[in-house]
Every structure is written in structure tokens, then in C-alpha cells.
């Protein structure tokens, strides 16, 4: 019988390298109520989720 503990499974995955591009903040929302609803004061970061739910 195989041992499927988490530690053994995680050790099999390689270390990942992430790439995060530099962000330029040119402007901010003037309406803070709108910014609060969007979850950010920077319009460049307002990226609503438009994907579908996996079933």
C-alpha cells in the first residue's frame, strides 16, 4: 500500500518561479465610494472576474 501523506506529495513538485510585471499607477479614482465598491483606488487594478464557475 502506498503512503499518500501531504509531505511526500509536495516534495515531488519543483520549485516555481513567478513573474510579476512592474505596475504603473497613473491615476486614482476621484469617487472614493466607487473605489470602495471596486476594492481598489487604482483603476488599473480594477479587473473584475469574468470567468465561469467550474462544476
Q: What is the 3-state secondary structure (H, E, C) of the chain?
A: CCCCCHHHHHHCCCCCCCCCCCCCCCCCCCCHHHHHHHCCCCHHHCCCCCCCCCC
Decide if pLDDT at 19 tops 60.
yes
| pLDDT number for residue 36 | 93
Share of the chain above pLDDT 90, in %: 31
Decide if pLDDT at 31 tops 90.
yes
> For residues 38 and 8, what is the distance between their CA atoms, to the nearest angstrom?
41
Over residues 2-17, mean pLDDT: 68
- pLDDT confidence band for 48 (50 / 70 / 90): confident
Decide if pLDDT at 26 tops 90.
no
Amino acid at each position: 500500500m502506498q503512503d499518500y501523506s501531504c509531505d511526500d506529495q509536495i516534495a515531488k513538485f519543483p520549485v516555481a518561479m513567478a513573474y510579476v510585471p512592474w505596475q504603473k499607477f497613473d491615476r486614482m479614482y476621484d469617487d472614493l465610494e466607487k473605489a470602495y465598491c471596486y476594492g481598489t483606488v487604482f483603476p488599473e487594478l480594477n479587473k473584475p472576474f469574468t470567468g465561469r464557475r467550474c462544476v
